[in-house]
Amino acid sequence: MQLKTLCSGAALWLALTAQAGAVQPESADHWLQRLQDAQGTKGTQGYQGAFVYERKGVFSTHQIWRQIDSQGRVSERFLQLNGPAHEVMRVDGRVTCISSAVAGELPAVDVWPTDALELENLQQWYQVRVLGESRVAGHKVAVLLFSPRDQYRYPVELSVDQATAIPLKSLLLNEQGQLLERLQFVQFQALAQQQSAQLEQALLTPSSACLPVTAIDDAADSDVESAWRVDWVPPGFTLLNSHSRQPSMTEGYMLSQVYSDGLAHFSVFLERINGLEIGGARRQIGPTAVVSKKIMQGAEALMVTVVGEIPLASAERVTLSVHTEMESNDD
């Protein structure tokens, strides 16, 4: 009888202590603050790892290295491991080379946006909940759901490494909760500061196929940027960067802008299409909305294109809001 009582008491104690441990999970505010501290160029956590990217049932695999040296400089290298070879190098948030023909044509295309998460902004446009705990790439993670408070953005589920606050899995969902896009680490190693500084230089040296990104002359491009405007973006989205170049007889590229709300991104492109019979477009490619329209600036034909992981209706509204000072009509 005493043994039975003792066992029952032990079982009750174990149940109560387990419940006590589960009663106080870290709050959403706690994880948002840790995310903010860990993200962007101000983050001090070095790491290396491999991840998979899924879109419309198609997978690709990637490798990434992130180093913070003794002077605090952040170097990042990104490789695509299957399919077409693709490489990007970034230093202190600026893309320095990319293995693509566009490297010599686009002054500083932001193929790999850098975010500085702002808690007030995220909480204003997303309701954030902690769904629980899980494991990704062998690491314990906290699972956060960012539910949009309006129709202009998609829900996002982030699995955040409990030790480093680095997101190890990101799921982009549509309004019905169906998967649009997945990015998930399959191998992840956090590096201590000394390890990060000593990360083999060969791993952070771009290959000969990684072409330098052309430097920008902001003063020369100011006239191009001031000649057009985006009158509407979804609330909470702010301009991350804007790059332009004067068009020539052989190059039609004029300007690109990248906007973000801290989680989602979209880009606006304006290019010269004189002599080309191109009409507008409106389509959804997996998680990516692509909307374009032709506008006339005097006698010159221009194409405005919005591309990003936002709902199609949002991209269309952004596109329709783009105007130039000399616009005469649009198609």
- Report the alpha-carbon distance of residue 194 to residue 217 in Å, rounded: 37
Tens of pLDDT, residues 63-85: 999 988 878 888 899 999 998 88
Q: What is the predicted pLDDT for the residue at 226?
A: 61
Q: Do 269 and 307 touch, CB atoms closer than 8 A?
A: yes
Question: Pairing relation of β-strands 46-55 and 58-68?
Answer: antiparallel
Taking all residues of the chain, what is their mean pLDDT, rounded to a whole number?
79
- Report the alpha-carbon distance of residue 168 to residue 134 in Å, rounded: 11
Once rounded to an integer, what is the mean pLDDT over residues 161-189?
93
Token pair of 323 as six digits = 């105007």
The answer on pLDDT for 138 being more than 70 is yes
Q: What is the predicted pLDDT for the residue at 48?
A: 93
- Report the alpha-carbon distance of residue 75 to residue 95 in Å, rounded: 10
Q: What is the predicted pLDDT for the residue at 319?
A: 95
- Residue 275 gets the label, from left (phi > 0), alpha (psi -120 to 50) or beta, of left
Q: Residue for token digits 């990360």?
A: 199
Tens of pLDDT, residues 199-236: 667 788 888 888 887 655 544 445 555 677 899 999 99
Token pair of 189 as six digits = 């190693």
Q: Residue for token digits 């301009």?
A: 239
**112: number of Cβ within 10 Å:** 14
Tens of pLDDT, residues 86-129: 899 988 878 888 886 444 444 333 444 555 667 778 889 999 99
Q: What is the predicted pLDDT for the residue at 156?
A: 94
Q: What is the predicted pLDDT for the residue at 215?
A: 55
What residues have CB less than 8 Å from 214, skipping those under 6 apart? 103, 104, 105, 106, 107, 108
CA-based nearest residue to 146, from 32, 30, 26, 24: 32
Residue 198 banded pLDDT, cuts 50, 70, 90 = low
Give the rounded percent of residues in the chain with a pLDDT score beyond 90: 41
Q: How far is CA 64 from the centre of its chain?
A: 15
Secondary structure (H, E, C), the chain = CHHHHHHHHHHHHHHHHHHHHHHCCCCHHHHHHHHHHHCCCCCCCEEEEEEEEEECCEEEEEEEEEEECCCCCEEEEEEECCCCCEEEEEECCEEEEECCHHHHCCCCCCCCCCCCCCHHHHHHHEEEEEEEEEEECCEEEEEEEEEECCCCCCCEEEEEECCCCCEEEEEEECCCCCEEEEEEEEEEEEECHHHHHCCCHHHHCCCCCCEECCCCCHHHHHHHHHCEEECCCCCCCEEEEEEECCCCCCCCEEEEEEEECCCCEEEEEEEECCCCCCCCEEEEECCEEEEEEEEEECCEEEEEEEEECCCHHHHHHHHHCEEECCEEEEC
Once rounded to an integer, what is the mean pLDDT over residues 274-284?
78
Q: Do 171 and 194 touch, CB atoms closer than 8 A?
A: no
Q: How far is CA 119 from the centre of its chain?
A: 16
Q: What is the predicted pLDDT for the residue at 42?
A: 58
Q: What is the predicted pLDDT for the residue at 200?
A: 67
Residue 181 banded pLDDT, cuts 50, 70, 90 = very high
Once rounded to an integer, what is the mean pLDDT over residues 1-17?
42
Domains annotated for the chain, with CATH where assigned, are 28-211 (2.50.20.10), 216-330 (3.30.200.100)
CA-based nearest residue to 67, from 202, 211, 245: 202
